[in-house]
Chains A and B, each alone.
Chain A
């Protein structure tokens, strides 16, 4: 048999499933069901009246919402019955199901459906007094247990159903009937199997409520219509516009926040809708837009977005134009079409200003700030400085939605961090943002983004523990998938720096299923993984492999400034490790000149400056780097970039060692020891031990020391050397292991300790072998 053609028809409010809910309400009011069934029954009724928000479990990552089905309703009743009473629940559920099916299959014609709605209407009373009057008039046999006031929760639903049913023309009622017949068809076999002596047939569609009437003539007449035969017959699926809008909006929420895949059923409904009446629910195209965006389908997203707003325009007014442009800008930004995004946002701002839509303008500027911060090199003439923009955002946040205030302070914090402002100012803004996001009783979105920002700040300042705490907070909240993935990427970095390499990569691998729904997110995830892999290769001297990873990274176009910054950093570092100091120097100079033009990212500017210092330090005249390093140290200290500070200290010490200022090096390292210990970045900590050992060896003068002092000094040096060797070994940094072993040889020679020299030389040999092995692995 061929599948009937399905035609989706939109009604303002009525839908076949509402007949089921009305039947349940009628059964409840009539008091035909045992009292114990009332709780589960009402729970189900309320759930379906409240709509899709209550029908899906958002905890599981946002299951897609579907239009209610008869099976679904029955299953829901069964579930709530079992929850209420695990023992008797099955019997209650059976009882309700039987009565429900009986009520549904008793409706045999348009007229009986009409009469059913009439009866539902009779359950309504205007107020309590009206109810009393009715009860007094009716005889006890025809009196229902409950009547519903129009303002009650159930009363409102019944009123709405009745009103929408009566407002329809005959054709609409006929459609309701036809779709209801299709809708209840799912329960046909169940009804026949369990409760009825005969299987419902054609006479149930053309059945009679008046026993003497014969409707076969109408049935035959209808069948003789050319579009009523089995092959061409259309099956109607009636969906209320109200419900569909709720469903679609819910789906949009799911897509935006969780990237949940649209269910097959809803997708089919939407597909059928697009064939006929999509203009009545344009949000369908917004779903398509979001889906295309997640699939990185630029053309599809572009077309769907345009189609969405075209229908929105016809539905409402031109006031939506700037929102349309904002979405367009977001679309372009998502595909890195920066100039198009700028053009769209420019027009959007103009229109918002023209319409005096300050709320939207605020949002637009906030969006613009976030867009521009990742693209410091993009030319624009929106504002003179980011500060000015932030001042505006803060000053006008009262006109905007409640979360805007908090967002404005978050943007300020970001700006302070980017510009390398004082840590105190950054913390002040961040605290304000936290206060606002917690007190404004808004949704968790702004608080989640606050936590992400705080985590990022503490990560930069080297307080990994606090950063971890802030990363963990949003996991418990209903943060969006992208936010959760980014927080977990940060966690992976903590683990990597802590030398828990396997754990770091495991975390990244765990994010794959979440990122799968959004190709852009997937790209970022892959980018971060490649960065860690590259860094790992550089540490373990697998330069070729590192190069390979780097080439993959460089071939990708990332807008995230951290990914691009880190990529270039590793690229230069690799050159340096390979001994191409000149090449590294050229590259670092290039990046520094770029940052010098738009010095709005202090962190990366200092990072590259320190890298430059390191190159200079390894060159013939290390002292050239001295003044630069000191400047970097000052900047890092002010901005609270502890890791950069310690990197600077490391380079400073190296320079001073070249100048034979070992006492100074020793003093500096001693002063900085708590910082080195605090920072869980193993590499820097180990390096400090190495440098300390080198200075101590240089300062060692056995002749002027007593025997015990000599022993103590040597033991201290060896312990520093050994800690560094052990640590670097664990990190597979054999080049650094070699350096530490060389120090051991130097020490052995200085104290004339043959065994120590021999042991160190042997270890050096082993280290060389390991390096060769590592080099071989990558081939």
Chain B
């Protein structure tokens, strides 16, 4: 015993050190304030700073801390491992005292599939933190977790998230995961990526001052480059991102880490990479994507999903390809309802359709969720041009106006922190050049003081999405005595939420088993689906009448079933729905 004690102490010490990681303050005394602001908890059990971006180790720490502190609401797990062996952290959140997670309609939430689009992980983490800290304080949250389950995987691309955070990158790289691939078809793998020429931790632009260049400095901000007017002489040639021609093939930075697009690797409407750039070898050849797909296939209670990206301020739904419009047709009222709600909750965000409003793209995550599993799915593109100065931007303003705002914002609100000013560099291939431009943590990601706002508003949208997953109840049961010992039992099931128990696409394609309404403890003579209770139109189910197969309980709608039974009550009615859960009622 004596010898063991120090070990325990040691373990405790290590644990507390781990929990005291950046952003996790331990001392509660100093965090309470006199007046609680609406929103975040005043005196949370787990203190987390929402003004920075966490790497995958810190995300794991936060997840475990939440689970350790709220074991009645949160369970920590993983859905698998990344290419480089990092855990894909999973938080399963529900009110376990009101039933197991698997038996409740569930919302799946992830972020960061594109490794540089990091803030989705923070929104996902904030969601977990907010709901468990407010479970006892906000009645709406308590009701949500009583009836619904949240499956939260903050980052589904942790390798490249860490690579983005800890290595020199642009705001747009690496996007891919870290599975090595030969991008340029020369038989070599990842042999010519960016090079941080000046070793400052940033990958920014290279420019060369020379006659005949077609670029010039912006009139308002010389740190920003714009094209010279058609009749104007420029001063600079833009040479792309910082780097060398590492492999001497006459091209610069053409084969960095990756490259594939993890969001083109999903099975629905998947096309080979010679037709869809980034598709990789075959659907779910990317281990992280496969882990998500396997998880979703193993959790048929998932009826809603959100996959956070950046940026642009969008609430995206599929289809990604115009050819796939039919798959969404029957489910548009529900998508539209949620999308319009989101536009109201997220100023500057627009509810858009991928193929129509952006471009046609195949093998995306949201399309697989909807197309292959019938799950109502949105991808929010976090951080909008609106966020710079809280002004709607006219459509025609475009990319250059947005860039100019980023520079302006940097000047007057970040005091120049977000931009590397142009500096000379002697490049072995280009000669004397200059290096400068936006840092990776600016442009696509919110600055520190706006992160919490972004997290909360997007969370609220996603929680309403979860709220509107079906809640089906037995609305009425009535028994009528027929001739002899025969009785007729009529049951109405009602869905109190907007989303149906099975999407129209799911029903049309028979993706999942139907909802079954079963009558137990009774001698069933015949069973019916009542198509119109007013006109008393019923359709008999000839086979296995005790277990009636129902397509779906429509959003805010009802299903009427009927049995003719030999013998008196009690009768027990059980709805067994993959996505609406199990509902039981007894008539005596």
| A and B pair up | no
Interface of A toward B, CB cutoff 8 Å: none
Interface of B toward A, CB cutoff 8 Å: none
